[in-house]
Structure 1
């Protein structure tokens, strides 16, 4: 029997699904809960990744040089500035710049509570960031002990933007040293650091006296217009021993950070496990619903067999029920997840947003989940015997 005929002429699956209203509500709630678990895990995981690579994508560079042991901004490994100077030999390079990175304690000027922030140090005479606020204020950073504050950081840092409006000479403590806030920019917090601060290289070295000026954390390479990025990358890497410096595109640099959080920490495993648990919960719930439905209506299925309908027709009805449950359960799960994303994003300041690829991914997982449950429930369906009703 054609599938189109099954859908158009025999709405048996819909009648079966909606006959027991209580069972239908339980099924929808169960699938919605499973989808909510999956949405939550994937949303938090992606927010972690997106937040962790925001600093990477505001660097004004085509290629970056890093220590091969450098996996994350929150545990940097330095290399010699001399290696960066060597890059001048390669054709196609327009400019070179360096960045220092370290974690520091920012003291809230109102409560005196301290929070961890990332500090980026650079030469203010060079264009290192794509952030307009930073480039407009870079000349102010040439004065020692001046910093720019990330206004998208955690509120526990204090109402710095408001305080700065009231007092243009606002000073705060950063790493136990007094610094003046010269301006603000917007970047955002991450799982590992609550905010970001940008300073000149001179101020950075004062904040971190244990750091050596000739040991930099990131080398930035800007290419000439029309230069072949892959060719320049190969030529650059040929200059350096791979155990000292590696050359990456900006995207590869960001992917390295994501890989660290996904595979180098327990966080990636935990979110992955949560997704699997949600998927398994959904399979169990849908299986129980479909199995109960088949058991309750076994005589009716046997009657259909006696009327000449084959096993494949009955299997088709069961698969339709599974698909209907998938769609009906997905919709409330999606809606609830949107609300939770909004609340979580407001509370954590992390970029937890619904994306079209994720919505489609979870819908596909829901359909697979329900079809898998239907396949398992087929065993009971095939026990329907016309002889049992006579």
Structure 2
């Protein structure tokens, strides 16, 4: 083991209770940052769940539409204009909106209706555990996710329900289709969606456009923009970015999560700085001796920086183990904590930077110590 590594590790491990407190401080701060950033990633993913699952090459949306859940109506006749553009094979209308679900206890709770026209570019439920998506063509048929059974009452296949004062029948049950707004998604046919939401015939929330395999998407997108009025033509990625931008920054939800992560980082930096400073202060005589025998300032800085890096690695591994457990426990929650390789790498870099920055106060203290104090004792 190199001498510098041996010196750094001995300084850390000599006072094990203090070192344990240092590791706990690092781990807690990184866990807090992980949870905040994981919630942010989970929130961003759930915002675009419906958009990403739609089988569409292009979206025709109102210029006033901020996201999938915050749509504005467009005229369905735009569909025929879109179909007149070469390369467009389908333009399927989708109707979205809120309706009231009557709970067996007598209360009502809102649901978010998603009604899609027939076609391969439609927006249909996935992760089915009961029933079949084709059952939505049956009169009054709806699909709902089982995770909302506590809120909506017992969700059982074939059960009759009341939505917006009208009948419905559960002929498809999904698992894992959750809304970031916590309002349950309810899938049905286009006409029933209009009935449930009160949207008049001839109106739609979106048009999902499917192109032929050989079509030039960018060229067709430009043609659609020129041919259609008062709408935006967006790719799936563009509509996803618009939705994330609206919910994360337009509503302040993202700012709150970022602020939480920043506060956790600052708290962790202060905790680690205090611990490293106290550890360095207890070993000032050793550092003074090193200076007296000719150790350079850069060598001493490396010793303290190495102490910070060792603390960072051990603290990060502890935090990673706990954070991974938290992510698994919340996988089925309404807002899961998402861990990705990119987030893990970023958190490791943050831990190292946080610990090294925390060591600056210790470096300043060591650089000010007078080597003469060793001989004065």
When the two structures are superposed, what TM-score results if normalisation uses the length of structure 2? Answer: 0.92
Contact 1:116 1:193 in 2 (8 A): no
Residue 140 to residue 125, structure 1, CA distance change in 2 (3 Å) = farther
> Partner of 2:96 in structure 1?
101
Find out whether 1:181 has 2:178 as its counterpart: no
Q: 1:151 and 2:137 equivalent?
A: no
Q: Deviations over 1:172-201 (max 9, x none)?
A: 122232211122234521231332111112
Classify the secondary structure of the residue corresponding to 1:184: strand
- What are the ranges of 5 or more consecutive residues in structure 2 without an aligned counterpart? none
Distance 1:119-1:22 versus aligned 2 partners, 3 A rule: same
- What stretches of structure 1 of length at least 5 have no aligned partner? 1-6
Structure 1 position 139, deviation (Å):
4.4
C-alpha contact 2:93 2:116 (8 A) present in aligned 1: yes
- Kindly tell me: are residues 337 and 112 of structure 1, through their superposed partners in 2, closer, same or farther at Cα, counting changes over 3 Å? farther
| 1:382 partner SS | helix
Contact 1:154–1:189, Cα closer than 8 Å, also in 2: no
1:364 matched to 2:354? The reply is: no
For residues 320 and 126 of structure 1, what CA distance do their matches in structure 2 show?
Answer: 58
* 1:222 pairs with one of 210, 221, 225: 210
For residue 78 of structure 1, what is the aligned residue in structure 2?
Answer: 73
Can you list the C-alpha shifts for 1:252-287, whole angstroms capped at 9, x where unaligned?
111211111210112111100011011101110111
> Which position in structure 2 is the counterpart of 1:4?
none
Aligned match of 1:3: none
Counterpart in the other structure of 2:231: 245
Choose the corresponding residue for 1:31, options 5, 23, 26: 26
Secondary structure of 2:71's aligned partner: coil
Give the direction of change, closer, same or farther, for the CA distance of 1:157–1:144 in structure 2 (3 Å limit): same
Q: Name the structure 2 match of 1:192.
A: 181
Work out whether residues 147 and 176 of structure 2, in 8 Å CA contact, stay in contact via their aligned partners in 1.
yes
State which drifts further: 149-158 or 213-222. 149-158
CA contact (8 A) 1:311 1:382 kept: yes
Match in the other structure for 1:60: 55
- Give the direction of change, closer, same or farther, for the CA distance of 1:294–1:263 in structure 2 (3 Å limit): same
Where does residue 114 of structure 2 map in the other structure? Answer: 120
Contact 1:103/1:116 (CA < 8 Å) preserved in 2? yes
Between the aligned partners of 2:149 and 2:283, the Cα distance in structure 1 is 57
**1:74 partner SS:** coil
Secondary structure at 2:316 match in 1:
helix
177-186 or 14-23, which moves further after superposition?
177-186
| Corresponding residue for residue 17 of structure 2 | 22
- Give the one of 123, 126, 140 matched to 1:129: 123
Please state if 1:212 is matched with 2:206. no
**Residue-pair matches, total:** 372
Q: Please report the TM-score for the alignment, with normalisation by the length of structure 1.
A: 0.89
Contact kept? 1:64, 1:221, Cα under 8 Å: yes
In 1, are the aligned partners of 2:90 and 2:119 still within 8 Å (CA)?
Answer: no
Partner deviation per Cα, 1:362-387 (whole Å, 9 max, x = no partner): 11111111111123432112112212
Maintained 8 Å contact 1:154/1:194? no
Change (3 A) 1:326 1:200: same
Q: Provide the rounded CA distance (Å) in 1 between the counterparts of 2:210 and 2:150.
A: 35
